[in-house]
Amino acid sequence: MSEIDHEALLERASESALVLKARSGDFEAFDQLVRGCERRVWTVAWRILAEREETENVVQTAFLKAMEALSTFRGESNFCTWVGRIASRAALDVLRSRRRERSLSLDEIAAEDDEAPVPHPELLVDWREDPTLGIEREEVRQILDRAIANLPDSLRSVFVLRDVQDLDTAQTAAELGITPGNVKVRLLRARLRLREELTRAFGGEAMVHGHMAGSGTGGLAAAAEVAA
């Protein structure tokens, strides 16, 4: 067993112990779980909503729901992933509320786009080339967050569920109440828009493929196979 695998096992064992304590009413144990996941859960909610107050409310709601449903946590995924799924569902509920206020459904907002040809980005570099050295991962993450925030709600929600939360096509379709075909089209559009934005941000010169995986955006590289 490698050192990395061993550390992962220790981390999972520590998490399991905290979950057991939290289930028995140990609030400090639950607070430790929250602190370990807070940034990740915030990122999931922010990337779907792109609005600070709504994000804060969703994060609080997600952890409250997690505390109430802790007895149902089976440990098939890690705790942070589980809470992240709760947060993504809560964020999607907020998006649907936005749409109801505007008398539009989440599916209607981009129905026309789903049928239209997929445009080729104006600016596109080959993200399969070696990444440029010296670009800090945090800088890439900040630029990516801004690019995701600029996506339409319908594209942003699909991208986050598929490429950040790692749901499959069928799961994403079920969460959003759309067809698997809609998911595939919207995901492609989202990936291409993001890749074009990143290309612009780095002046068409910086290759940041290696940093994308570390930022939870490995799907951008997959889009290169389609767009190239």
Q: Which domains does the chain have, with CATH numbers?
A: 3-101 (1.10.1740.10), 108-227 (1.10.10.10)
Q: In this model, does residue 192 exceed pLDDT 90? A: no
Q: Which residues contact 224 (CB under 8 A, 6 or more apart)?
A: 126, 127, 128, 195
Whether the pLDDT of residue 117 is over 50: the answer is: yes
Range name among 153-162, 186-195, 196-205, 219-228 with the lowest pLDDT average:
219-228
Q: Are the beta carbons of 176 and 161 closer than 8 angstroms?
A: yes
On whether the CB atoms of residues 207 and 127 are closer than 8 A, the answer is: yes
Are 90 and 47 in contact by the 8 Å Cβ rule? The answer is no
Tell whether pTM > 0.75.
no
d(CA 209, CA 135): 11
Which of 62-76, 89-103, 167-181 has the lowest average pLDDT?
A: 89-103
Question: Rounded CA gap, 226 and 128, in Å?
Answer: 12
- Confidence grade of residue 91 (pLDDT, cut at 50, 70, 90): very high
Q: Where are the alpha helices (DSSP H) in the chain?
A: 3-23, 27-49, 52-68, 79-101, 111-115, 137-149, 153-159, 169-176, 180-201, 209-214, 219-227
